[in-house]
Amino acid sequence: MRNFRGGICAFAAALLIFGAMPIFAQARYASGQNIVPVFEGWERNSDGSFNMVFGYMNRNYEEQLEIPVGSDNNIQPGGPDQGQPTHFYRRRQQFVFKVKLPSDWGQKDLVWTLTSRGRTEKAYGTLTPVWELGNLVYQENRGGPGEMTYPEQPNQPPTIEMVGSAQRTITVGQPLALTVEVTDDGLPKPRVRRTEPASGPARDANTGTVARGGALPGIEGSRVENPLTQAVVRLDPGVRLGVTWVLYRGAPGSVTFEPMKVPVIKTDAPDGTSPLRGKATTSVTFSQPGNYRLRAYADDGVLITPLDVNVSVEAAR
């Protein structure tokens, strides 16, 4: 049922975003379109509480938007601010943030409302059983590095800690170095290496069975990126554990990460003993003064864990 739930998630999001018209009939817009909030599903916590998980669809293929928390970007009840982003990258971004709810939440809806380009869109979070998230749902939607197995592998999300303070002050144009330390349980295990026969599709090097989806023939760990998703938080091919930095909230102006995606453990690294551990460093610069919230996602290809850094950027003297 959970594996089927992943298909429901994708199909429901497609209906919400594209309506009843065939996808191929949709025009592509570089800019000028609005943002659609998306309810991804919910999780159980060990203390009896729940997490509602949300993402979004930016209908633009190039333009990124800023929508400050308030009447145009609010979550109710209990809002308007419940940790949602105010900076929206292009296209479909999944599993962006979570809202923790008490164990007695019941059947109420948690509603994220976004207004942009003169249109108001709402995502309704509910604890309906079919919307419960599990590792197989995450893996099916994110296309992680492990094999799809049932029962699912007991994968735990990676941990991430800031090296130094999570509150920083910097001047416009001055690079700011940020380092995090990440650990992981080593799951999911990398896929079995594929080999390409003289002709025909790729086959499993151990069993000889035909590979279905995932890697391209002869290119281990490769992925065909769906132009309708273009997820920012996704491991690059050949990476088993990595960190992606994003602008989560910020003032107008550009924020540049060098690099935005930092590999920590490659798939060709010796497996060794769990947990996997390493550091990831990036450099960020800001073009305008203001208060910014940056988010680092530790990513094992299936599960992600966020860490926020608040940066006060001052004008150059």
The per-residue pLDDT for range 12-57, each reduced to its tens digit, is: 555 455 454 454 556 789 999 999 999 999 999 999 999 999 999 9
Please report how the helices 135-142 and 2-18 are oriented relative to each other, as an axis angle in degrees rounded to 10: 50
> Looking at 56-65, 158-167, 183-192, which range is the least confident one?
183-192
Which tokens belong to 128? 């309906």
Q: Which residues of 162-172 are buried (b: 16+ CB within 10 A; e: fewer)?
A: beeeeebebeb
pTM for the predicted model, two decimal places: 0.82
> Looking at 24-28, 241-245, 291-295, 297-301, which range is the least confident one?
24-28
Helix (H) or strand (E) holding 11: helix 2-18
Whether 224 shows a pLDDT value over 50: the answer reads no
Pick 140 or 220 by higher pLDDT: 140
Nearest to 174 by CA among 296, 66, 317: 317
Average pLDDT, the chain: 83
Q: Compute the average pLDDT of residues 126-141.
A: 92
Q: How confident is the model at residue 149 (pLDDT cuts 50, 70, 90)?
A: low
Whether 215 shows a pLDDT value over 50: the answer reads no
DSSP assignments along 84-107, one per residue? --SEE-SEEEEEEEEEEE-TT-TT
Cβ 101 vs Cβ 113: under 8 Å? no
At residue 129, the 3 state secondary structure works out as: helix
- Give CA separation, 277 vs 109, 119, 262, 264, 297, in Å: 39, 45, 14, 8, 15
Whether 226 shows a pLDDT value over 80: the answer reads no
Determine if the peptide bond prior to 188 is cis (ω within 30°).
yes
List, in order of start, the domains of the chain with CATH numbers.
2-133 (no CATH), 150-190+225-314 (2.60.40.10)
- Bridge partners (DSSP) listed for residue 204: 194
